Amino acid sequence: MILSDNDMQGFSIDDVAEPENIEDVIYTLMVNPNLSTINYFNDFSEMAVSPDSLEEGDTDETGLFELESTDHCLLMTTHAFHHHLEDNPQVATEILISRAARKMLCYGAKPLVVSAFLYHINFADHNGHLIASGAKKGLENAAKKFHLKVTDRKIRFDHFKGHGPVPPTIIISMMGMVSNRAHVTTHEFKQKGNNIFLLGRPSDDIGASEYLEFYHGISNSPLPEFNIDTEVHLREVLLRLHELQLISSASPVGKGGLFFTLLRASFPQNLGFDITTDAETRRDAFLFGESMGRIIVDVAPEKEDEFVDVLSSMHIPFFMLGHVTRGEIRIDDLSLGYTDKMSTGI
């Protein structure tokens, strides 16, 4: 089902039936190719930079490179986005840049520079110029908020009627730096018994999610909840947590929502998780919604008190989800089996 512009404006999660069987949702979504983990390999031949890949499965869309003769590392990431670029290009662009920054911050890198490329814009259509103008405003505002230098921006205008199979799309590349290679934090859970926290506020939001489109068949839904000032605040919190070395891993809640983010963090070490959902949030939205400004971290028990003190002092909302297990996956006391039963495509 494709919603019209009027339908999107009046969209409400209350109009979407909440599934009774959460296990059915999970196994339905697991065959969605958009939820597969894809690792990109970057080959750099510059003499000053030698590629130093993390362990297989550590980087997703992010590449890590050591700088010779220093303790510094460069991180590079590339993201693409087309959702609502035609009707809200500024916010769509800000979301894309915030996603890339959040990914870098999880690794302990401070984002420094960004470049943006806008493709498949219809030069003959006035709306094409509106998209370009809105994307430019989004790029400039996000760069200002995150203290990023814009190194390049290009627009490709296509002379054709309609967009064909490819809608207007923005692609951004971002580079950041970790000052000490030893302080790089990866996304996978490290050991059984660590506590798992959600940084950011859960909400009843399933807009533009893989869950809404793939399970309920509703596409072209509203953008997920997003506030760029919340993203900037989260940036400061993450930098502080990395500085104090209080977190063992960090993952931005992304495609597939919280559940699939947890699953991707579990696979590398064949670990699992035992979590409790938020009673104040719809269960499907809590597990599969893709609202912005949320991070999953795991924390060693001996560091938990200091970790909580930092979050409280910086006034960031957080939620204790549960703990890392030896491999079992449990949600609200329901066992879903073990990670080795799950698809290796996730």
Q: Can you give the pLDDT of all 346 residues of the chain as single tens digits?
A: 545 454 556 789 999 999 999 999 999 999 898 886 444 333 333 333 333 444 433 334 678 888 888 889 999 999 998 878 888 999 999 999 999 999 999 999 999 999 999 988 877 778 888 999 999 999 999 999 999 999 999 988 765 555 555 788 999 999 999 988 888 999 999 999 999 999 999 999 999 999 999 999 998 799 999 999 999 999 999 999 999 999 999 999 999 999 999 999 999 999 999 999 999 999 999 999 999 999 999 999 999 999 999 999 999 999 999 999 999 999 999 999 999 877 544 5
CA atoms within 13 A on the CB side of 12: 3
Residue 180, pLDDT score: 87
From the list 261, 277, 245, the residue with the least C-alpha distance to 102 is 261
- What tens digit of pLDDT does each residue of 133-157 get? 999 999 999 999 999 999 999 988 7
How, if at all, do strands 295-299 and 249-252 pair? antiparallel
Determine the angle formed by the axes of helices 228-243 and 126-146, rounding to 10 degrees.
30
Q: CA-CA distance, 116 to 136, in Å (whole number)? A: 9
- What tens digit of pLDDT does each residue of 205-230 get? 999 999 999 999 998 799 999 999 99
Strand, coil or helix: 225: coil
CATH 3.30.1330.10 in the chain: give the residue spans: 39-183
CATH 3.90.650.10 in the chain: give the residue spans: 5-31+185-341
Residue 56, pLDDT score: 38
Q: Which CATH architecture fits 39-183? A: 2-Layer Sandwich (3.30)
Structure tokens at 70: 């220093």
Query: Could you tell me how far CA 59 lies from the centroid of its own chain?
Result: 13
Residue 326 neighbours by CB distance under 10 Å:
12
The model's pTM: 0.89
Q: Annotate 11-43 with DSSP letters as a single string.
A: --GGGSPPPS-HHHHHHHHTT-GGGS-------
CATH of domain 5-31+185-341: 3.90.650.10
Q: CA-CA distance, 6 to 300, in Å (whole number)? A: 48
Strand, coil or helix: 203: coil
